[in-house]
A and B are shown apart, each in its own frame.
Chain A
């Protein structure tokens, strides 16, 4: 049975381990998705509010570069967002006209090179559907990634003991089932119990042999 136990352990360890890894991944990715959805939703709300103001001003004939109340609005919106890098208002050519980060005003938005930012972009169109510009909300990707990394470690920390416990419990149950089968089989092969019809057939056969001999 020791040999059997040695064989049982890796089988159940692999199967339970695989299931727990998949379950941990599903748990992690579910919470991660909800976290990122909340952030995206908040970014969309901020960008949407600014885009609505820009569109309204544009419909009154105020061109985007002339919407001089925007810096105050951007400053107000950015004050409540701890992860914020900047809120930019871009012209239709991608040049940043206004930004909550003064250093970005007047530069071109380098989307490909902006790897440190978690971005949300909302295009703004006028009443005729022609593009006016865009609002870009940029959050600190490193801070977001750090939260996600911590979540990953926490979930893994919870999954490992649960998985190990499951492996041990699974192996013990499997071993118990096999031991029980082994015990029943040994009793049956010794003719003690567990195979009563065989015993009665042997007894019947013996009786027939005796009467045949007589």
Chain B
């Protein structure tokens, strides 16, 4: 990642945290001023109510030392009211008869409220000690949310900073930084030219000028020594080539690709906002359907969304080409706005399903248009670099969306949060218009997937095993756990939407941090199949932490961490292995077709996830459903490993891309 963007985001985060600290101290003062009188009034009400209770018991003739249950009653009041530190019934000598025996250290400074027990002998009274830190605690409980907001802001800044600078200026700044970083490492390969004007554009061209002169001198000298057959000079030049990369170009995505990043990121953020609250919202709207469990019914609008995405994506490639990528992305964002806003006002399951179908079509169109834009803007060698940018925008949205969605749902309600999601989709539309070049519509090149290839691809046992034992279960378990089962279970455990949103960050954090490392290791050790199988087993086995402990929030967190770790191990290796196995298929099966069918199988897994989870949840409950899905995923991965071992001697060599 570009270090300038990291420095800018870190600076932003630091500034925000300092501002927030100053501002929150002021809020604590205000909170004390507003809350303290109310706490005192409430304490008076508690004291008077308890004193009246004691008075009634004494009036009925119950002796003072036989007031059974009064101590527990007073303790319960303290437990139920965080603003009350202690409560006690005491006599005129100040001795505590029931409740807290004596104020603990530090409570001497706390304000107290006293209510005499009417009609009781000996000056009995109920005394309530107020918690002096309550107002500060109210604000400090916000800190988790505030830290999340600051973190997400920094991530959003990381994604959007170029929008403010303008793509040209930003590409020039980033270009200068890339050149300096490469040069400091001793990498003197040539870079793609920077078109932008201004000071940074001039500096980039100036640095390129020095590199160009060096490369020209190298090329000219090399030609001369080759013609002359001077082996010693040739060897010296080879060493220069090996040391500095002279005569080579850096493979990097052209600056044009970055134009799609902001609209794509913001649109994906809109969808990710809905993750923590969507299953609970659907369940609340759902009416009982005879013969179907409420959990299964709750899965239907989610399935509708995912089926629309899965079914439409393969067909939209040509459509977005015909429309032009920018226009298609704008149209997709528009559908997203309509879908999210309609979801906010859906009165029932059918309306919500229709709204989600519209959102799904918009999502698919934005996804395909953005992917198509990257493909249009890159050549074969630049494609990986361009797609890395595309995937990173989606992953960062997956990291930022759920916690913010949870906070919004808690504060403004689910319909309000849907409207905000619609607002994000609208911002994505505006960004697409501002940032993306208005490309001329192109003639369709035909569908990406040739259906005739499908039979030939799945006829390969190793490819079929990879697709149906690894790729599809990986998506089923991901969608079932993260998007359906965990949000519903968190709701059942009484967790707030914010907590659910934070919980859903665990998986993307593991992915963002670990995928690059495991991808590199799988390639370096030439062990893609092992990584796929091992990751699948680990992801599936993570479900069994529920068998070792009761279902509570930390245990669910551990399960999601295991899922994230397992999928971080397998995901890049899986994609690479598809390409490896695809090259062993009969001639005529294109790589595009292989990857098209791979993505289709994955999307089918996405759609099946909530359906399977909903069906099982209604019958077996959360823990058993999670373990059944996890167990099946692990079993599939083990079967794939077995298939790999059995098939390897006959026809399955798994060379890495580079070999």
Interface residues of A (CB under 8 A from B): 1, 3-4, 7-8, 10-12, 14-16, 18-20, 22-27, 29-31, 34-35, 38-39, 41-42, 45-46, 49, 80-82, 147, 150-151, 154-155, 158-159, 162-163, 165-166, 169-170, 173-174, 177-178, 181-182, 184-186, 188-189, 191, 194-198, 201-202, 204-205, 208-209, 211-212
Contacts and interface: CB of A to CB of B under 8 A. Distances in A.
B18 A166 contact: yes
Contacts of B160: 15
Nearest to B145: A26
Given A19-B153, A24-B23, A162-B23, A181 B244 contact: no
A188 B7 CA distance: 21
A198 B213 CA distance: 11
9 contacts: A7-B169, A27-B24, A27-B146, A38-B39, A42-B45, A45-B49, A80-B48, A181-B180, A201-B188
Contacts of B145: 26
A188 B183 contact: yes
Contacts of A155: 26-27, 30
Contacts of B83: 38
Given A27-B139, A185-B180, 11 more contacts: A15-B153, A22-B149, A30-B138, A30-B141, A80-B48, A81-B41, A165-B22, A178-B173, A197-B188, A197-B244, A205-B214
B183 A7 contact: no
Given A26-B142, A162-B19, A19 B35 contact: no
Given A7-B164, A41-B81, A198-B188, A205 B218 contact: yes
Contacts of A181: 4, 173, 176-177, 180
Interface string B26-54: 11001100110011011011101100100
Nearest to B208: A189
B214 A198 contact: yes
Contact of B42 (A41, A184, A202): A41
A150 B37 CA distance: 15
Interface residues of B, number: 86
Contact of B30 (A26, A41, A151): A151
Interface string B200-222: 10011011011100100110010
Nearest to A157: B26
B156 interface: yes
B221 A151 contact: no
B73 interface: no
Nearest to B39: A38
- Classify the secondary structure of A's interface with B: helix
Interface stretch (B8-16, B119-127, B370-378, B565-573): B8-16
B233 to A, nearest CB: 6
Contacts of A19: 16, 149-150, 153
B454 interface: no
Contact of B11 (A3, A45, A158, A174): A174
Interface of B: 4, 7-8, 11-12, 14-16, 18-20, 22-24, 26-27, 30-31, 34-35, 38-39, 41-42, 44-46, 48-49, 52, 81, 83, 138-139, 141-142, 145-146, 149-150, 153, 156-157, 160-161, 163-166, 169, 173, 176-177, 179-180, 183-186, 188, 198-200, 203-204, 206-207, 209-211, 214, 217-218, 221, 224-225, 230, 233, 236-237, 240, 243-244, 246, 407, 411
Contact of A39 (B38, B150, B246): B38
B149 A26 contact: yes
B165 A11 contact: yes
Closest 5 A/B residue pairs (Cβ)? A11-B164, A189-B206, A166-B19, A158-B26, A19-B153
Given A23-B20, A45-B49, A195-B180, A34 B161 contact: no
